[in-house]
Structure 1
Amino acid sequence: MVIREHGTPAPSLRERKRERTRQALVDAAAEMFERKGYDETTVAEIAAAAEIGTRTFFGYFASKEDILFPDSDARARTTIEAIVNRDPAEGPVDVLVRALETVAETDADMVSPMAAVRMRLFRTVPAVRGKALQIQMSAQQEIARALQAAFPDELDRVGAAALTGALTGAVNSALDALMDDEDAATVALDADRLRERVQQATELALRTWRS
Protein backbone atom coordinates (compact mmCIF):
# COMPACT_ATOMS: atom_id res chain seq x y z
CA MET A 1 0.00 0.00 0.00
CA VAL A 2 1.26 3.48 -0.90
CA ILE A 3 1.06 6.05 1.90
CA ARG A 4 0.83 9.75 1.11
CA GLU A 5 2.89 12.33 2.98
CA HIS A 6 -0.07 13.36 5.15
CA GLY A 7 -0.58 9.78 6.27
CA THR A 8 -3.64 8.65 4.28
CA PRO A 9 -3.40 5.65 1.95
CA ALA A 10 -3.11 6.48 -1.74
CA PRO A 11 -6.07 5.23 -3.80
CA SER A 12 -5.68 1.77 -5.25
CA LEU A 13 -5.62 1.09 -8.99
CA ARG A 14 -9.23 -0.04 -8.81
CA GLU A 15 -10.26 3.13 -6.96
CA ARG A 16 -8.45 5.33 -9.50
CA LYS A 17 -10.12 3.50 -12.37
CA ARG A 18 -13.53 3.92 -10.76
CA GLU A 19 -12.93 7.63 -10.22
CA ARG A 20 -11.89 8.06 -13.89
CA THR A 21 -15.07 6.32 -15.01
CA ARG A 22 -17.17 8.45 -12.68
CA GLN A 23 -15.58 11.63 -14.00
CA ALA A 24 -16.06 10.43 -17.58
CA LEU A 25 -19.78 10.04 -16.86
CA VAL A 26 -20.00 13.54 -15.38
CA ASP A 27 -18.13 15.07 -18.33
CA ALA A 28 -20.26 13.21 -20.87
CA ALA A 29 -23.47 14.24 -19.15
CA ALA A 30 -22.44 17.90 -18.97
CA GLU A 31 -21.58 17.92 -22.68
CA MET A 32 -24.78 16.17 -23.75
CA PHE A 33 -27.07 18.23 -21.53
CA GLU A 34 -25.51 21.36 -23.02
CA ARG A 35 -25.62 20.14 -26.63
CA LYS A 36 -28.83 18.11 -26.76
CA GLY A 37 -30.84 19.23 -23.76
CA TYR A 38 -31.53 17.52 -20.45
CA ASP A 39 -34.80 15.79 -21.33
CA GLU A 40 -33.44 14.69 -24.71
CA THR A 41 -30.40 12.93 -23.19
CA THR A 42 -30.79 9.37 -21.93
CA VAL A 43 -28.86 7.45 -19.30
CA ALA A 44 -27.95 4.91 -21.98
CA GLU A 45 -26.32 7.64 -24.09
CA ILE A 46 -24.32 8.98 -21.15
CA ALA A 47 -23.17 5.46 -20.26
CA ALA A 48 -22.16 4.70 -23.84
CA ALA A 49 -20.12 7.90 -24.04
CA ALA A 50 -18.18 6.77 -20.96
CA GLU A 51 -17.81 3.28 -22.48
CA ILE A 52 -19.80 1.45 -19.84
CA GLY A 53 -23.16 -0.27 -19.82
CA THR A 54 -26.42 1.27 -18.64
CA ARG A 55 -26.61 -1.06 -15.64
CA THR A 56 -23.10 -0.06 -14.62
CA PHE A 57 -24.13 3.61 -14.72
CA PHE A 58 -26.44 2.98 -11.78
CA GLY A 59 -23.49 1.71 -9.77
CA TYR A 60 -22.20 5.29 -9.90
CA PHE A 61 -25.37 7.40 -9.86
CA ALA A 62 -28.89 6.53 -8.79
CA SER A 63 -30.56 8.58 -11.53
CA LYS A 64 -29.99 11.10 -14.30
CA GLU A 65 -30.73 13.89 -11.82
CA ASP A 66 -28.04 12.65 -9.43
CA ILE A 67 -25.24 13.04 -11.98
CA LEU A 68 -25.85 16.79 -11.91
CA PHE A 69 -24.77 16.83 -8.24
CA PRO A 70 -21.67 14.61 -8.17
CA ASP A 71 -20.05 16.14 -5.10
CA SER A 72 -23.00 17.23 -2.97
CA ASP A 73 -22.28 14.65 -0.26
CA ALA A 74 -18.63 15.74 -0.11
CA ARG A 75 -19.65 19.34 0.58
CA ALA A 76 -21.79 18.34 3.53
CA ARG A 77 -19.02 16.09 4.87
CA THR A 78 -16.46 18.89 4.57
CA THR A 79 -18.72 21.23 6.52
CA ILE A 80 -19.41 18.66 9.22
CA GLU A 81 -15.70 17.83 9.51
CA ALA A 82 -14.97 21.53 10.04
CA ILE A 83 -17.51 21.59 12.85
CA VAL A 84 -16.21 18.43 14.51
CA ASN A 85 -12.55 19.47 14.19
CA ARG A 86 -13.09 23.11 15.13
CA ASP A 87 -10.65 25.17 17.13
CA PRO A 88 -11.85 25.55 20.74
CA ALA A 89 -11.83 29.33 20.32
CA GLU A 90 -14.16 29.24 17.32
CA GLY A 91 -17.84 30.01 17.66
CA PRO A 92 -20.65 28.60 15.50
CA VAL A 93 -20.54 31.40 12.92
CA ASP A 94 -16.76 31.28 12.61
CA VAL A 95 -16.87 27.53 12.04
CA LEU A 96 -19.51 27.79 9.32
CA VAL A 97 -17.71 30.61 7.52
CA ARG A 98 -14.45 28.66 7.59
CA ALA A 99 -16.21 25.54 6.33
CA LEU A 100 -17.70 27.49 3.43
CA GLU A 101 -14.27 28.87 2.56
CA THR A 102 -12.82 25.35 2.61
CA VAL A 103 -15.55 24.04 0.33
CA ALA A 104 -15.08 26.94 -2.07
CA GLU A 105 -11.33 26.37 -2.23
CA THR A 106 -11.36 22.59 -2.58
CA ASP A 107 -14.56 21.70 -4.42
CA ALA A 108 -13.72 21.58 -8.12
CA ASP A 109 -17.36 20.86 -9.01
CA MET A 110 -18.44 24.32 -7.86
CA VAL A 111 -16.40 25.80 -10.71
CA SER A 112 -16.90 23.47 -13.67
CA PRO A 113 -18.83 22.94 -16.90
CA MET A 114 -21.31 20.80 -14.95
CA ALA A 115 -21.87 23.65 -12.50
CA ALA A 116 -22.83 25.94 -15.40
CA VAL A 117 -25.25 23.34 -16.79
CA ARG A 118 -26.69 22.71 -13.34
CA MET A 119 -27.36 26.41 -12.75
CA ARG A 120 -29.31 26.70 -15.99
CA LEU A 121 -31.28 23.50 -15.50
CA PHE A 122 -32.22 24.46 -11.94
CA ARG A 123 -34.25 27.29 -13.39
CA THR A 124 -35.80 25.43 -16.30
CA VAL A 125 -36.31 21.76 -15.34
CA PRO A 126 -38.66 21.01 -12.41
CA ALA A 127 -37.11 17.59 -11.77
CA VAL A 128 -33.66 19.14 -11.39
CA ARG A 129 -34.97 21.90 -9.16
CA GLY A 130 -36.72 19.34 -6.97
CA LYS A 131 -33.58 17.22 -6.68
CA ALA A 132 -31.49 20.28 -5.79
CA LEU A 133 -33.90 21.30 -3.05
CA GLN A 134 -34.01 17.75 -1.68
CA ILE A 135 -30.20 17.62 -1.50
CA GLN A 136 -30.05 21.06 0.08
CA MET A 137 -32.61 20.22 2.76
CA SER A 138 -30.88 16.95 3.64
CA ALA A 139 -27.48 18.67 3.91
CA GLN A 140 -28.91 21.49 6.04
CA GLN A 141 -30.41 19.00 8.48
CA GLU A 142 -27.13 17.07 8.81
CA ILE A 143 -25.10 20.25 9.29
CA ALA A 144 -27.57 21.69 11.79
CA ARG A 145 -27.46 18.49 13.87
CA ALA A 146 -23.65 18.57 13.91
CA LEU A 147 -23.65 22.27 14.81
CA GLN A 148 -26.09 21.83 17.69
CA ALA A 149 -24.13 18.86 19.00
CA ALA A 150 -20.91 20.90 18.89
CA PHE A 151 -22.40 23.95 20.61
CA PRO A 152 -25.12 22.65 22.95
CA ASP A 153 -24.74 25.58 25.35
CA GLU A 154 -25.09 28.18 22.60
CA LEU A 155 -27.56 26.67 20.16
CA ASP A 156 -30.70 24.63 20.57
CA ARG A 157 -32.13 22.65 17.68
CA VAL A 158 -34.11 25.60 16.32
CA GLY A 159 -31.17 27.99 16.57
CA ALA A 160 -28.81 25.59 14.81
CA ALA A 161 -31.33 25.10 12.01
CA ALA A 162 -31.83 28.85 11.66
CA LEU A 163 -28.11 29.58 11.52
CA THR A 164 -27.51 26.83 8.96
CA GLY A 165 -30.44 28.08 6.90
CA ALA A 166 -29.06 31.61 6.97
CA LEU A 167 -25.77 30.36 5.54
CA THR A 168 -27.23 28.22 2.78
CA GLY A 169 -29.84 30.83 1.95
CA ALA A 170 -27.15 33.47 1.52
CA VAL A 171 -25.14 31.25 -0.80
CA ASN A 172 -28.12 30.29 -2.93
CA SER A 173 -29.42 33.86 -3.14
CA ALA A 174 -25.99 35.13 -4.19
CA LEU A 175 -25.76 32.55 -6.96
CA ASP A 176 -29.30 33.33 -8.10
CA ALA A 177 -28.58 37.06 -8.23
CA LEU A 178 -25.37 36.49 -10.16
CA MET A 179 -27.26 34.46 -12.73
CA ASP A 180 -29.74 37.29 -13.17
CA ASP A 181 -26.86 39.57 -14.09
CA GLU A 182 -24.59 37.23 -16.03
CA ASP A 183 -24.55 34.07 -18.12
CA ALA A 184 -24.45 30.87 -16.07
CA ALA A 185 -21.28 29.68 -17.77
CA THR A 186 -19.52 32.94 -16.92
CA VAL A 187 -20.57 32.66 -13.29
CA ALA A 188 -19.74 28.98 -12.91
CA LEU A 189 -16.29 29.16 -14.49
CA ASP A 190 -15.02 32.33 -12.79
CA ALA A 191 -13.76 30.86 -9.52
CA ASP A 192 -12.49 34.08 -7.97
CA ARG A 193 -15.64 36.07 -8.72
CA LEU A 194 -17.91 33.27 -7.53
CA ARG A 195 -16.07 32.87 -4.24
CA GLU A 196 -15.88 36.61 -3.64
CA ARG A 197 -19.60 37.19 -4.12
CA VAL A 198 -20.61 34.16 -2.07
CA GLN A 199 -18.32 35.26 0.76
CA GLN A 200 -19.78 38.77 0.69
CA ALA A 201 -23.32 37.42 0.85
CA THR A 202 -22.41 35.07 3.68
CA GLU A 203 -20.82 37.82 5.75
CA LEU A 204 -23.92 39.99 5.33
CA ALA A 205 -26.32 37.18 6.22
CA LEU A 206 -24.41 36.12 9.31
CA ARG A 207 -23.52 39.59 10.59
CA THR A 208 -26.34 39.65 13.12
CA TRP A 209 -25.29 36.25 14.47
CA ARG A 210 -21.88 37.62 15.42
CA SER A 211 -23.28 40.17 17.84
Structure 2
Amino acid sequence: MPQNRNMNTSSPEQPVRSDDPLDRLPLRERKKLKTRRAIQHHALRLFERQGYDDTTVEQIAAAAEISPSTFFRYFPTKEDVIVSDEYDPVMVDLFRRQPAELPPIEALRRVFGELLPEMFVSDRELVMTRLRLTADVPSVRARMFEAMRSGTQGVLKELIAERTGRRPDDLDADALAWAVTGVLMSAMYAWMDGVVDFEAMAGLVDHNLTFLAAGCPL
Protein backbone atom coordinates (compact mmCIF):
# COMPACT_ATOMS: atom_id res chain seq x y z
CA MET A 1 0.00 0.00 0.00
CA PRO A 2 1.39 3.41 -0.80
CA GLN A 3 2.83 4.96 2.32
CA ASN A 4 2.13 8.64 1.64
CA ARG A 5 1.22 9.31 5.27
CA ASN A 6 2.21 12.98 5.21
CA MET A 7 0.09 13.90 2.24
CA ASN A 8 -0.47 17.66 2.04
CA THR A 9 -4.15 18.12 1.33
CA SER A 10 -3.70 21.87 0.91
CA SER A 11 -1.58 21.46 -2.23
CA PRO A 12 -2.43 23.90 -5.05
CA GLU A 13 -2.79 20.85 -7.31
CA GLN A 14 -6.49 20.31 -6.63
CA PRO A 15 -7.86 16.98 -7.94
CA VAL A 16 -10.93 16.89 -10.10
CA ARG A 17 -14.00 15.31 -8.45
CA SER A 18 -15.51 12.29 -10.14
CA ASP A 19 -17.00 8.93 -9.23
CA ASP A 20 -13.50 7.50 -8.78
CA PRO A 21 -12.31 8.20 -5.21
CA LEU A 22 -8.70 8.25 -6.43
CA ASP A 23 -9.49 11.43 -8.36
CA ARG A 24 -9.42 13.24 -5.02
CA LEU A 25 -5.63 12.87 -5.00
CA PRO A 26 -3.13 15.38 -6.45
CA LEU A 27 -2.11 14.93 -10.09
CA ARG A 28 1.36 13.53 -9.28
CA GLU A 29 -0.15 10.85 -7.07
CA ARG A 30 -2.76 9.97 -9.68
CA LYS A 31 -0.08 9.46 -12.34
CA LYS A 32 1.88 7.09 -10.12
CA LEU A 33 -1.26 5.20 -9.17
CA LYS A 34 -2.30 4.91 -12.83
CA THR A 35 0.92 3.03 -13.52
CA ARG A 36 0.40 0.83 -10.45
CA ARG A 37 -3.13 0.01 -11.57
CA ALA A 38 -1.95 -0.91 -15.06
CA ILE A 39 0.64 -3.33 -13.67
CA GLN A 40 -1.89 -4.80 -11.26
CA HIS A 41 -4.48 -5.20 -14.03
CA HIS A 42 -2.10 -7.23 -16.18
CA ALA A 43 -0.93 -9.28 -13.20
CA LEU A 44 -4.44 -10.22 -12.08
CA ARG A 45 -5.46 -11.06 -15.64
CA LEU A 46 -2.51 -13.46 -15.92
CA PHE A 47 -3.17 -14.96 -12.48
CA GLU A 48 -6.79 -15.65 -13.44
CA ARG A 49 -5.81 -17.15 -16.81
CA GLN A 50 -2.81 -19.32 -15.94
CA GLY A 51 -2.68 -19.45 -12.13
CA TYR A 52 -0.69 -17.54 -9.54
CA ASP A 53 2.20 -19.99 -9.20
CA ASP A 54 2.63 -20.36 -12.97
CA THR A 55 2.83 -16.60 -13.56
CA THR A 56 6.23 -14.93 -13.27
CA VAL A 57 7.18 -11.33 -12.63
CA GLU A 58 8.86 -11.34 -16.04
CA GLN A 59 5.56 -12.28 -17.70
CA ILE A 60 3.72 -9.54 -15.82
CA ALA A 61 6.35 -6.98 -16.78
CA ALA A 62 6.18 -8.02 -20.44
CA ALA A 63 2.38 -7.73 -20.47
CA ALA A 64 2.56 -4.27 -18.88
CA GLU A 65 5.39 -3.23 -21.23
CA ILE A 66 7.78 -2.43 -18.40
CA SER A 67 11.01 -3.95 -17.13
CA PRO A 68 11.09 -6.33 -14.15
CA SER A 69 13.08 -3.70 -12.25
CA THR A 70 10.24 -1.21 -12.81
CA PHE A 71 7.78 -3.79 -11.48
CA PHE A 72 9.78 -4.05 -8.27
CA ARG A 73 9.83 -0.26 -7.88
CA TYR A 74 6.06 -0.38 -7.55
CA PHE A 75 5.63 -3.79 -5.88
CA PRO A 76 8.38 -5.21 -3.63
CA THR A 77 7.17 -8.81 -4.18
CA LYS A 78 4.84 -10.69 -6.50
CA GLU A 79 2.42 -11.06 -3.59
CA ASP A 80 2.28 -7.28 -3.21
CA VAL A 81 0.68 -6.86 -6.63
CA ILE A 82 -2.39 -8.55 -5.08
CA VAL A 83 -2.42 -7.22 -1.52
CA SER A 84 -1.45 -3.62 -2.29
CA ASP A 85 -4.05 -0.99 -3.13
CA GLU A 86 -4.22 2.76 -3.52
CA TYR A 87 -6.82 3.60 -0.90
CA ASP A 88 -4.74 4.50 2.14
CA PRO A 89 -3.99 8.04 0.84
CA VAL A 90 -7.69 8.48 0.02
CA MET A 91 -8.60 7.33 3.53
CA VAL A 92 -6.13 9.84 4.99
CA ASP A 93 -7.63 12.67 2.96
CA LEU A 94 -11.22 11.78 3.87
CA PHE A 95 -10.38 11.32 7.56
CA ARG A 96 -8.71 14.71 7.84
CA ARG A 97 -11.77 16.33 6.27
CA GLN A 98 -14.06 15.08 9.06
CA PRO A 99 -15.21 17.60 11.72
CA ALA A 100 -12.58 17.94 14.43
CA GLU A 101 -15.10 17.23 17.22
CA LEU A 102 -15.84 13.72 15.96
CA PRO A 103 -14.15 10.92 17.93
CA PRO A 104 -11.90 8.64 15.85
CA ILE A 105 -14.34 5.75 15.34
CA GLU A 106 -17.21 8.02 14.30
CA ALA A 107 -14.89 9.79 11.87
CA LEU A 108 -13.85 6.40 10.47
CA ARG A 109 -17.48 5.34 10.12
CA ARG A 110 -18.03 8.33 7.87
CA VAL A 111 -14.83 7.66 5.94
CA PHE A 112 -15.61 4.01 5.26
CA GLY A 113 -19.27 4.80 4.69
CA GLU A 114 -18.21 6.98 1.77
CA LEU A 115 -15.14 5.11 0.53
CA LEU A 116 -16.18 1.45 0.61
CA PRO A 117 -19.40 1.70 -1.44
CA GLU A 118 -17.56 3.75 -4.07
CA MET A 119 -14.69 1.27 -4.11
CA PHE A 120 -16.97 -1.75 -4.37
CA VAL A 121 -18.83 -0.16 -7.30
CA SER A 122 -15.94 1.34 -9.29
CA ASP A 123 -13.47 -1.51 -8.65
CA ARG A 124 -15.85 -4.40 -7.95
CA GLU A 125 -14.19 -7.05 -10.11
CA LEU A 126 -10.70 -5.95 -9.12
CA VAL A 127 -11.52 -6.15 -5.41
CA MET A 128 -13.25 -9.52 -5.76
CA THR A 129 -10.33 -10.99 -7.72
CA ARG A 130 -7.85 -9.78 -5.11
CA LEU A 131 -9.94 -11.22 -2.27
CA ARG A 132 -10.28 -14.59 -4.05
CA LEU A 133 -6.52 -14.82 -4.59
CA THR A 134 -5.86 -13.81 -0.98
CA ALA A 135 -8.16 -16.60 0.18
CA ASP A 136 -6.72 -19.22 -2.19
CA VAL A 137 -2.93 -18.58 -2.16
CA PRO A 138 -1.19 -19.13 1.22
CA SER A 139 1.80 -16.91 0.44
CA VAL A 140 -0.51 -14.05 -0.56
CA ARG A 141 -2.57 -14.50 2.61
CA ALA A 142 0.61 -14.33 4.73
CA ARG A 143 1.79 -11.23 2.91
CA MET A 144 -1.62 -9.62 3.39
CA PHE A 145 -1.24 -9.84 7.18
CA GLU A 146 2.19 -8.21 7.02
CA ALA A 147 0.92 -5.51 4.63
CA MET A 148 -1.95 -4.70 6.98
CA ARG A 149 0.50 -4.30 9.86
CA SER A 150 2.98 -2.11 7.98
CA GLY A 151 0.37 -0.29 5.89
CA THR A 152 -3.25 0.32 6.86
CA GLN A 153 -2.81 -0.30 10.60
CA GLY A 154 0.12 2.10 10.75
CA VAL A 155 -1.83 4.75 8.86
CA LEU A 156 -4.82 4.31 11.19
CA LYS A 157 -2.60 4.60 14.26
CA GLU A 158 -1.12 7.88 13.06
CA LEU A 159 -4.53 9.32 12.18
CA ILE A 160 -6.02 8.31 15.54
CA ALA A 161 -3.06 9.77 17.42
CA GLU A 162 -3.24 12.96 15.38
CA ARG A 163 -6.98 13.43 16.02
CA THR A 164 -6.70 12.76 19.75
CA GLY A 165 -3.55 14.83 20.31
CA ARG A 166 -1.42 11.84 21.26
CA ARG A 167 2.10 10.86 20.29
CA PRO A 168 2.47 8.77 17.09
CA ASP A 169 3.77 5.86 19.18
CA ASP A 170 0.94 6.00 21.74
CA LEU A 171 -0.02 2.46 22.76
CA ASP A 172 -3.73 3.24 23.15
CA ALA A 173 -3.83 4.67 19.62
CA ASP A 174 -2.01 1.56 18.45
CA ALA A 175 -4.54 -0.72 20.18
CA LEU A 176 -7.51 1.11 18.67
CA ALA A 177 -5.90 0.99 15.23
CA TRP A 178 -5.51 -2.78 15.58
CA ALA A 179 -9.15 -3.06 16.65
CA VAL A 180 -10.27 -1.15 13.54
CA THR A 181 -7.96 -3.28 11.38
CA GLY A 182 -9.67 -6.32 12.90
CA VAL A 183 -13.06 -4.88 11.93
CA LEU A 184 -11.92 -4.64 8.30
CA MET A 185 -10.46 -8.15 8.33
CA SER A 186 -13.58 -9.56 9.99
CA ALA A 187 -15.73 -8.24 7.14
CA MET A 188 -13.29 -9.58 4.56
CA TYR A 189 -13.31 -13.07 6.07
CA ALA A 190 -17.10 -13.02 6.44
CA TRP A 191 -17.25 -12.64 2.64
CA MET A 192 -14.54 -15.24 2.03
CA ASP A 193 -16.41 -17.73 4.23
CA GLY A 194 -19.72 -17.04 2.50
CA VAL A 195 -21.36 -15.50 5.57
CA VAL A 196 -22.21 -12.27 3.72
CA ASP A 197 -22.32 -11.37 0.05
CA PHE A 198 -19.99 -8.84 -1.49
CA GLU A 199 -22.50 -6.01 -1.45
CA ALA A 200 -23.03 -6.41 2.32
CA MET A 201 -19.38 -5.90 3.29
CA ALA A 202 -19.59 -2.10 3.64
CA GLY A 203 -22.62 -2.41 5.91
CA LEU A 204 -20.87 -5.05 7.99
CA VAL A 205 -17.84 -2.78 8.46
CA ASP A 206 -20.15 -0.01 9.71
CA HIS A 207 -21.97 -2.43 12.03
CA ASN A 208 -18.68 -3.68 13.46
CA LEU A 209 -17.37 -0.14 14.00
CA THR A 210 -20.59 0.77 15.84
CA PHE A 211 -20.21 -2.38 17.96
CA LEU A 212 -16.59 -1.42 18.71
CA ALA A 213 -17.52 2.16 19.66
CA ALA A 214 -20.17 0.83 22.05
CA GLY A 215 -17.55 -1.21 23.91
CA CYS A 216 -18.39 -4.54 22.25
CA PRO A 217 -21.43 -5.29 24.44
CA LEU A 218 -22.43 -8.96 24.38
Distance 1:76 1:126 in 2: 24
Change (3 A) 1:150 1:172: same
The answer for the alignment partner of 2:213 in structure 1 is 206
Give deviations 1:58-110, integer Å, cap 9, x for gaps.
Answer: 23322211211342xx4333333344443132112211212222331444698
The answer for the alignment partner of 1:152 in structure 2 is 165
Distance 2:213 2:53 in 1: 38
The answer for the alignment partner of 1:56 in structure 2 is 70
Q: Please say if 1:88 is aligned against 2:100.
A: yes
Range with bigger deviation, 166-175 or 51-60: 51-60
The alignment's C-alpha RMSD in Å is 3.5
Aligned residue among 141, 149, 162 for 2:175: 162
Change (3 A) 1:54 1:196: same
**5+ long unaligned stretches in structure 1:** none
**5+ long unaligned stretches in structure 2:** 1-12, 18-23
Partner-residue secondary structure (3-state), 1:52: coil
How does the TM-score come out when normalised to structure 1?
0.73
Identity %: 28
The answer for the alignment partner of 2:155 in structure 1 is 142
Contact 2:83–2:134 (CA under 8 A) maintained in structure 1: no
Letter paired with 1:41: T
Contact 1:26–1:114 (CA under 8 A) maintained in structure 2: no
Distance 1:145 1:10 in 2: 21
Aligned residue among 106, 114, 121 for 2:133: 121
Which structure ranks higher in relative contact order (CA pairs < 8 Å, sequence separation ≥ 6)? 2
Give deviations 1:161-204, integer Å, cap 9, x for gaps.
Answer: 2222222212211221222127xxx95xx4x4332232223322
Distance 1:208 1:3 in 2: 39
Letter paired with 1:66: D
Partner-residue secondary structure (3-state), 1:25: helix
- Greater C-alpha Rg: 1
Give deviations 1:21-70, integer Å, cap 9, x for gaps.
Answer: 43332111111112221111101111111222323322332221121134
Contact 2:134–2:144 (CA under 8 A) maintained in structure 1: yes
Aligned residues between the structures: 196
The answer for the alignment partner of 1:112 in structure 2 is 124
Change (3 A) 1:92 1:57: closer
How does the TM-score come out when normalised to structure 2?
0.71
How does 1:183-194 map onto structure 2 within 5 Å?
Answer: 187=197, 190=198, 192-194=199-201
Q: Please say if 1:195 is aligned against 2:198.
A: no
Contact 1:171–1:202 (CA under 8 A) maintained in structure 2: no
The answer for the alignment partner of 1:42 in structure 2 is 56
